[in-house]
Amino acid sequence: MDSPRVQLIRRLFELMETNSLARASEELLAHCADDVVFEPHAAQGRLIRGPDELRRFWEDFEEEGVQLRAGAYSVTEEGGAVVVTGWVRTIKDGRLADTQSRWVYRFNDHDQVVSARVERA
């Protein structure tokens, strides 16, 4: 049986695969520490700190007309982290881009996400 951490990340990817980015973001934020740090690839190296800043980031992303979907090939727990390998599809201005990615979600002792990083594979 999967740990609560793995179950959470699997839920996030189920939502992202069905183009429910807003719901996935809110699910993630409901399970993150107040001082969480995000490093989405779309932020181009900028660190996003805290739930409010992440909400603004994704709102701006959607206002630009970018569509994003993601899916998981594998979800594994490694120490205090959950590591996902999978794919990302973005559509902007009629252009489609598919990429392979790796996500690392780190947790504290209370099973709250304290950091999330996306890397292109």
- The predicted-structure confidence for 15-48, as pLDDT tens digits, reads as follows 999 878 888 888 999 999 999 999 987 788 899 9
Query: Domain total for the chain?
Result: 1
pLDDT at 35: 95
Per-residue 3-state assignment (H helix, E strand, C coil) for the chain:
CCCHHHHHHHHHHHHHHCCCHHHHHHHHHCCEEEEEEEECHHHCCCCEEHHHHHHHHHHHHHHCCCEEEEEEEEEEEECCEEEEEEEEEEEECCEEEEEEEEEEEEECCCCCEEEEEEEEC
Give the pLDDT confidence of 54-87 residue by residue, as tens digits: 889 888 878 888 888 999 999 999 999 999 999 9
29 is in which domain, residue-wise? 4-120
- Evaluate if residue 100 carries a pLDDT over 90: yes
What is the value of pTM for the model shown?
Answer: 0.91
Residue 70 is part of a domain; what is its CATH number?
3.10.450.50
